[in-house]
Amino acid sequence: MLSKYILPGEKVELQAVEKTILGEGADDRIYVSKVYDVLSDERLEICMPMEQTKLILLPADGVYEICFYTKTGIYQSLARVVDRYKVNGVFLLLFELTTNLRKHQRREYYRFNCILNMKSRELSLDEKLAYEERKAVFLEESLPLRQSIIVDISGGGIRFVANHQYEKDTVIYLTYTLIVQGEEKKYDLTGKILSSKELENRKGQYEHRVQYVNITNGQREEIIRFIFEEERKNRQKLQG
């Protein structure tokens, strides 16, 4: 039945759920890869994820939440790494599902890897007070902004890299532009810092995960539309 829903080549996201296996200090990064082959109703092979040109050696017996992006929707399951090996020059992970495959309805959280310029700053005192009192968010346009780079984006938030660091739970103002249906659109949003850490191989560079706190339904839908437009362009390039 697994092969009825999941096909080779489809995108997957992997996130560890057992720190007892990975040890203290294990991160919560989401690794992007693809299905190599479906072997049975419980087992499938997934290409070992990479960051830049480096293979990520996920540990044997590690348990991961897998998110499958298919033509019929998004599916999720927990699965355990049974083995690691190489086939026809491709490094693979053999996963065994430990829970039933389930449909995931929240398509707005589809994350798209990208490189986008962004500017941001911490909210001013007046802006913070307005936010904490649950009033309408207002922004002071004259305050200086700092440059950063968005490295993935979704309808729920972004991940960005900068040479400055925001503390966890800080609420920031952020602004960037997207091309949606051929039109350039600017987004002025506020977001909450979910995590912030220095990159291991780039000292002085910090990775931040942000959740939007004042996005409208219209803005969210436009961002999702942008993501799927870009994914379609990428598929067309690969097929061409």
Determine the pLDDT at residue 158.
96
Angle at 175 between CA 173 and CA 180, to 5 degrees: 140
Question: In degrees rounded to 5, what are phi and psi of residue 15?
Answer: -140, 130
Q: Collapsing DSSP states into helix, strand and coil, what is residue 76? A: strand
Determine the pLDDT at residue 103.
79
CB neighbours (10 Å) of residue 225? 14
Q: Which residues span the domain enclosing 186?
A: 109-239
* Amino acid identity at 50: M
Q: Tell me the two tokens of residue 115.
A: 């490189």
- The number of folded domains in the chain is 2
| Same domain as 126, residue 28 | no
Domain final residue, candidates 77, 105, 133: 105
| Same domain as 227, residue 125 | yes
| DSSP class per residue in 47-58 | EPPEETTEE--P
pLDDT, one tens digit per residue, over 34-74 is 999 999 999 999 999 988 788 988 988 888 889 898 888 78
Which pTM does this prediction carry? 0.56
pLDDT band for position 182 (cuts 50, 70, 90): confident
Distance CA(45)–CA(85), nearest Å, equals 10
